A and B are shown apart, each in its own frame.
Chain A
Amino acid sequence: MRLIALYLIGLVFGIGISISGMANPAKVLNFFDVAGSWDPSLAFVMGGALATAFVGYRLVLRRPAPLTDATFHLPTKTDLDARLIGGSALFGVGWGIAGFCPGGALPALGTGKPDVFVFVAALVAGMAAARYAQSMLAANQPARA
Chain B
Amino acid sequence: METEFTPLASLSGGVLIGLATTLLMLVSGRIMGATGILSGAIWGPQGRDWRIALLAGMVSGPLVILAATGSFPAIEVPVSTLAMVVGGALVGIGVTFGGGCTSGHGVCGMARLSTRSIVATLTFMLTTGITVYVVRHVLGG
List the interface of chain A (C-beta within 8 A of B).
2-27, 29-30, 32-37, 39-54, 56-57, 59-61, 63, 65-69, 71-75, 77-80, 83-104, 106-111, 113, 115-116, 118-131, 134
Contact = CB atoms under 8 A, between A and B. Distances in A.
Interface centre among B4, B73, B112, by most chain A C-beta atoms within 10 angstroms, is B73
Contact of B84 (A4, A51, A122): A122
A100 to B, nearest CB: 7
B28 A11 contact: no
Main secondary structure of the interface of B (DSSP, over half): helix
A6 B96 CA distance: 23
Main secondary structure of the interface of A (DSSP, over half): helix
Nearest to A39: B3
Contact of A104 (B6, B102, B112, B121): B102
B34 A98 contact: no
Contacts of B137: 35-36
B87 A52 contact: no
A127 B93 contact: yes
Enumerate the 4 nearest inter-chain pairs by beta-carbon distance, A residue then B residue, closest first: A126-B92, A14-B61, A10-B57, A20-B13
A80 B119 contact: yes
B15 A39 contact: no
A126 B96 contact: yes
Contacts of B1: 26, 30, 37
Given A37-B3, A86-B97, A98-B91, A92 B13 contact: no
Interface centre among A5, A95, A97, A108, by most chain B C-beta atoms within 10 angstroms, is A97
A143 to B, nearest CB: 21
A3 to B, nearest CB: 4
Given A9-B32, A103-B101, A122-B87, 11 more contacts: A20-B10, A29-B79, A60-B22, A75-B109, A80-B116, A87-B120, A91-B98, A95-B87, A103-B34, A103-B103, A121-B88
